[in-house]
């Protein structure tokens, strides 16, 4: 469907056959075991992208962290990493669950919610989520991207509007 093609590259999987990026190397070298929870989540993503941990193990760690009472339950960064990995793994329902409750306060989670809803072929709900994101910050690049993703998924005149947004 068009909604599936409208997905961004934000959460596309990394293939471990390619060498880690310089930013991945920096995270791996600089984030210590006793770092704050958001940094640990980013380090877990870097470990996954560098092939130091597999997706199943990374998702298991994140599930513990974002569970009620877990160290990342209320942390938008940890939740965004979880949603990103779920989307990359083809599980938009779990991605939505990772965003739930905090998307209204964190633009990144709201954008990931839009992406997950599009992956579920729910452009109507994605449009509502994109409007909620725009209400947080109408001028933010994420707001514009989310509106373009939705417009592309809806097609017709909305796709033309999406093209204008992306220019």
CA distance 55 to 61: 10
Predicted confidence at residue 17, as pLDDT, reads: 55
Read off the pTM.
Answer: 0.82
Quickly list H helices, the chain. 2-5, 22-30, 37-49, 55-66, 76-88, 92-99, 107-119, 123-136, 141-154, 157-166
pLDDT of residue 10 exceeding 50: no
| pLDDT tens per residue across span 40-92 | 999 999 999 899 999 999 999 999 999 999 999 899 999 999 999 999 989 99
Please give the angle made by the CA atoms of 159, 7 and 147, to the nearest 5 degrees.
45
């Amino acid at each position: 469907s068009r909604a599936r093609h409208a997905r961004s590259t934000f959460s596309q999987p990394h293939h471990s056959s390619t060498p880690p990026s310089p930013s991945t190397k920096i995270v791996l070298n600089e984030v210590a075991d006793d770092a704050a929870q958001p940094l640990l989540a980013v380090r877990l993503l870097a470990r996954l992208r560098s092939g130091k941990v597999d997706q199943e193990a990374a998702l298991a760690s994140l599930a513990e962290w974002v569970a009620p009472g877990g160290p990342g339950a209320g942390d938008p960064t940890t939740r965004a990493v979880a949603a990103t990995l779920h989307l990359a793994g083809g599980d938009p329902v779990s991605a939505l669950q990772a965003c739930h409750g905090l998307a209204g306060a964190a633009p990144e989670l709201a954008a990931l919610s839009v992406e997950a809803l599009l992956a579920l072929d729910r452009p109507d709900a994605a449009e509502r989520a994109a409007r909620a994101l725009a209400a947080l910050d109408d001028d933010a690049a994420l707001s514009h991207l989310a509106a373009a993703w939705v417009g592309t998924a809806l097609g017709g005149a909305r796709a033309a509007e999406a093209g204008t947004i992306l220019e």
